[in-house]
Amino acid sequence: MRNYIYMDNAATTPTKKEVLAEMLPYFSEKYGNPSSIYSLGGQSKNAVEKAREQVAIALGAKAKEIYFTSGGSEADNWAIKGIAFANRHKGNHIITSKIEHHAVLHTCEFLERQGFKITYLDVDEYGVVDIEQLKNSITDETILISIMFANNEIGTIQPIKEIGEIAEEKGIYFHTDAVQAIGNIKIDVNELNIDLLSLSAHKFHGPKGVGALYIRQGVKLDNLIEGGAQEKNRRAGTENVPGIVGLGKAIELAYENLDEHNEKLINLRERLIKGIFDNIDDVRLNGHPTNRLPGNTNFCFKYIEGESLLLSLDIEGVAGSSGSACTSGSLDPSHVLLAIGLPHEIAHGSLRLTLGDFNTEEEVDYVVEKLIPIVQRLRDMSPLYEKIKGEK
Ligand SMILES: *Cc1c(COP(=O)(O)O)cnc(C)c1O
């Protein structure tokens, strides 16, 4: 098979083989239900508890504050709906931002239909939330602030410490969707005053369909999934034991190699950005120039569509993304690119290339080399570009 270059690590990552090796026995010989009292069950129970400990260590949390879920989307839904419904008597106002993942935005829209009031904070041209607006939005009714740690499209990292301090001072719960940050940024939930944090294994070389919600001890929230007594009566359903084992191993590996991972990814990212800027005109980098995820790049190539770029790159064996995986397939421009102030026609021309542990410098160079003629060819076909060229 032709060598495939995967640069869509913000959408998902390949599961590391060490992670898969830890998971495999829990599909076959170690198949017990963690709730069963015989030793086969106990073995699974121990494996789940070991993973809980691994996640807790990574976050500076206590093991009993970690609850496993089916992924990042469930964790976001649980945190926000759970806090909203359990604290309704205190107030009905929630603050979030315009650039959250749809798991947060659509949950907030659902709550609006249930009578809650939501403030969607603006962001600046780099995608950083407006802290003054946050302070001014807080009322006696505010029960939750939910701001993502780092953005999945443009990679911008938010001032989480500042937000945590504001929430703490006002006595408001603070949730952060850290799905993109975990494995890229060292996070201590106590230092940052985080009350709830969502994470997802498949974004840091673990398996898909498993994640966790950190819930600070004492935080009151309703259940999302009702049923059996799993997860201390807070999240029902027989545990995804192999997935949980994989999550634990993946988070441990991610933080063991954090410095090396970051150095490598930042080097690849800067090489890619430089390669593109040195060789292609009329391109812009979206997101913050420095305060961004180590592996994230997001570009707008003027006069062309992101979708056609993706298709041409795919023919060359390169996988990237236009906007986020959830929006490609629809023709709406990304809500994130619109929030940073890009006009519709430019927001359509975006290309996100996200690097991971398995990418190399040779791959980066190959992508730049292929992009140059692709962009030129698509621009030559673009009536808009013809017109601009004619005027120059
Ligand atoms: C991927 C992602 C999610 C959703 O996580 P799943 O495990 O795929 O449900 C939520 N938030 C952000 C920021 C993400 O990147």
Segment 73-123, tens digit of pLDDT = 999 999 999 999 999 999 999 999 999 999 999 999 999 999 999 999 999
Reported confidence tier of residue 323, pLDDT bands at 50, 70, 90: low
Q: Is residue 6 part of a domain?
A: no
Name the nearest CA neighbour of 351 among 301, 281, 294. Answer: 301
Number of compact structural domains in the chain: 2
Judge whether 245 and 206 are in contact, CB under 8 Å.
no
User: In which residue are the tokens 């309704």 written?
Assistant: 88
CATH number for the domain that contains residue 127: 3.40.640.10
pTM over 0.85: yes
CATH number for the domain that contains residue 326: 3.90.1150.10
Average pLDDT over residues 348-355: 90
Residue 89: CB partners within 8 Å, gap ≥ 6?
Answer: none
Q: Is residue 119 part of a domain?
A: yes
To the question of whether residue 93 is assigned a binding role by annotation, the answer is no
* Domain region containing 354: 257-390
For the record, the structure tokens of 322 come out as 């236009």
Q: Give the end-to-end CA distance of the chain in Å, rounded to a whole number.
A: 45
3-class DSSP state of 360: coil
Average pLDDT value over all residues in the chain: 94
Looking at the structure, do residues 263 and 379 belong to the same domain, yes or no?
A: yes
Looking at the structure, do residues 188 and 107 belong to the same domain, yes or no?
A: yes
Which of 256, 276, 310 is the endpoint of a domain? 256
Residue 7: CB partners within 8 Å, gap ≥ 6?
Answer: 318, 319, 320, 353, 354, 355, 359, 363, 367
- Rounded CA gap, 205 and 56, in Å? 18
The string over 159-191, giving b where at least 16 C-beta atoms fall within 10 Å of a residue's C-beta and e elsewhere, is ebeebbebbeeeebbbbbbbbbbbbbbebebee
Sign of CA dihedral 147, 152, 156, 157: positive
Residue 305: CB partners within 8 Å, gap ≥ 6?
Answer: 348, 349, 378
Looking at the structure, do residues 319 and 222 belong to the same domain, yes or no?
A: no
Looking at the structure, do residues 128 and 245 belong to the same domain, yes or no?
A: yes
Is the Cβ atom of 178 under 6 angstroms away from ligand 1?
no
Is the Cβ atom of 8 under 6 angstroms away from ligand 1?
no
To the question of whether residue 238 is assigned a binding role by annotation, the answer is yes
Q: Tell me whether residue 300 is one of the annotated catalytic residues.
A: no
Looking at the structure, do residues 240 and 184 belong to the same domain, yes or no?
A: yes
Average pLDDT over residues 330-342: 85
